[in-house]
Each structure stands twice: as C-alpha cells, then as structure tokens.
Amino acid sequence: MIKRNLLKGAAVFLSCCLVFTSAGCGKKKPVSTENTTKAVTEQETKDIKKTKEEQVTIAVKDAEGNTVEVAGIVETNEDGEKVVIIQDRDGNRTEIKADNYEESSSGTITITDETVSNEITEAAKDDKIPKADEVIPTKPSTDVADNNSNNNSGSNNGGSSSGSSDNNNGGNNSDNGGSSSDNGGNTTPSEPETNPATPDTPSHEHNWEPVYDYVHHDAVIDQVWVVDKAAWEEPVYTKYYVCLQCEYGECEYCNEHGLRQNEFLTFEEKKAHQYNCAINGGSCSNSTTRKKVTDYIHHDEEGHYETVIVSEAYDEPKLIGYKCSCGATK
C-alpha cells in the first residue's frame, strides 16, 4: 500500500514537471519594435544622404574673360561620386564630372572645362539657365521612396508574424490554465511615417510692364489777323491844257521869242497864250487837255481777326513705375 502511494506521488510530480517545462519552452520572446524602427530610420538616413541635392552658385568665364554666375545643383550619385548638375528652365539636366570643376571654400563651383563654360555662358545670355539668385527645383529621390516602401512592407510582415506567434502562444497558455493570455495580443512595431513628395513649384519670373501717369495740356489758341485787302496808294490826277503847236515846235513866233509853252494849268492861261501868239503872227491855235499824277492817297490794308488753334490739346505720358501681372510693383 505504501509503495503504491509512493508510485502515484512520483507520477504526479513528473507530470507537473513536464507541464511547466513545456509551458516555458513554448513561450516566445516578443520582437523589439524600438530596434526595428531604429534600423529602418538609419537605412532611410543613409539613402537620403546618398541622393541629397543642394543648390549652389556656378561660376564660369565667358569668351571675354568675364565671370558669369548661374544656379546649379551638387548631387552625390549612387557610386558616391559628387557631380555638378546644370538644369535649364525646361527641366533638362546636364552632369559635370569632378575633374571639370573646382569648389572654393565658400561653396562656389568654378567650371574649368572651356567647352562646358562656353555652353553655359551662351545659355545664360539667352536666359535659358536660372540666375544665381533664383531658387531652382530639385528632383525628388526615387531611391528613398523605394527604400521606404520596402521598409514599410518588412515592418508589416514582421508585425503579422509576431502577432500570429503571440496568438498561438496565448492559446497554448490558455489551454494550460495559465494567466498569460494577455501576451497573445497583436503588438506590431510602429511604422515610420513617410510624407508624399510635394512637387516643386516653378519660380515666378516677373514680367515688368511700364506704368504711366498722364499730364494734360490744353490747346493753345490765338487771334490771327486775316488780310482781306492789302494796303494801297490811290493816285491823285491833275488836269492841264496843252498847246499842240508849241508841243511839236511848229510855231515860229513862239520859237523865236522864247514863248514856247505846251502845258497850262488853266484854260484861261492857255487861251491868253494862243491869243498873244495869233496877234503877233504866230500859229498857236490847237490845244488839248490831259491829266497827270500829282499826288498819292495812302489806304491801309483791310481785314479781320480769326481764332486759330496753334497746337492741339494732348496728354503727356509720364513714367511712374513698373508692374507685373502677379501684382508686384517697383
């Protein structure tokens, strides 16, 4: 009887040991979300540094030796090589290798390749390349997006596996009568947040249009004298009498005695001359009347005043500034 009881006690003891041993072996250590998140963040930072773009000032020499500065980008490619990128206004990008430029302590990049310098200066003259003081858009890195997508996928898979394993363990613990069913909850590591890439807005270039104010000038008018009849001199005529025999020298008596006179102011004077000549044997008998200008009467010009326009009214433009379509002024 005593021996049978000892055997039963030993069997119960072994059974308990087996139960506790199987419970301890079936319990799985939870995955550390902190270590997973830290690993993802370090990988993202590494990828971002590999594809980081930085705007810099690019200096080139034109054909006359003058320095021309434009905006450019310094980028590190997948091989770890630093390259300079010139991006025109259409978004076309040209890479310049390290052996074709020099970088100063201030961060300015000087292009040493003469052919490349000439191409850049010609494009800058045509305003095809942004100036040094302009902000240029940079390309979003596709490597970062791909790495984030892979990391997120891995995190989600890890969370599902952990949750599934914990659920199974929780089920076993529950069957064994343990109180560790809380360990079976779905605990997934927090996923790193990724913001969608925002497209760069192209910089606005002002188009300055002149703005004028106007100063009004009235018309200039005047009173002008218009001549209707010019000034003139009116002649004054005097009538006189002519002895025709004396005029032509036909009277011998008048010729011999110096009495030849062919003009007389009055009829009485002419009549007395002819009578004296006739009684003394002269031949003065014929006469005529004539007239001649002896004076002038001045007459002033005649006319009137008229109102005339010397110069038309007009508005004089006066430049007061410039305005862009965006509303900016200067």
Query: What is the domain count for the chain?
Result: 3
Q: How is residue 127 written in tokens?
A: 């305003």
Residue 161 in any domain: the answer is no
Taking phi first (over 0 means left), then psi (-120 to 50 degrees means alpha), and beta for anything else, what does residue 65 get?
Answer: left
Distances (CA, A) of 186 to 33, 93, 161, 183: 13, 49, 10, 9
Mean pLDDT lowest among 139-143, 237-241, 267-271? 139-143
8-state DSSP, 131? B
- The token duo for 94 is 């040209």
The predicted-structure confidence for 275-314, as pLDDT tens digits, reads as follows 988 888 889 989 899 999 999 999 999 999 999 999 999 9
Assigned domain for 97 exists: yes
* pTM exceeding 0.85: no
Is 199 buried (19+), middle (13-18) or exposed (0-12) by CB count in 10 A? exposed
Q: What is the pairing mode between strands 232-243 and 263-264?
A: antiparallel
The residue from 105, 124, 142 where one domain ends is 142
| pLDDT tens, residue by residue, 121-148 | 888 888 888 888 888 766 654 444 444 4
Residue 230: is its pLDDT beyond 70? yes
Residue 291: count of CB within 10 angstroms of its CB: 10
% of the chain at pLDDT higher than 90: 25
For residues 236 and 271, membership in a common domain is answered with yes
- Asked which of 125-129, 175-179, 190-194 is least confident by mean pLDDT, the reply is 175-179
The answer to whether residue 172 scores a pLDDT higher than 50 is no
323: domain range? Answer: 208-221+304-330
Is 19 contained in some domain? no
DSSP 161: H
Residue 33 placed within a domain: no
> Looking at residues 89-111, what average pLDDT do you find?
82
Give the E-state strand segments of the chain in sequence order: 53-61, 67-76, 82-87, 93-96, 101-103, 109-111, 209-217, 220-229, 232-243, 263-264, 287-299, 302-311, 314-323
Same domain, 239 and 136: no
Whether 38 is covered by a domain: the verdict is no
pLDDT for residue 197 = 64
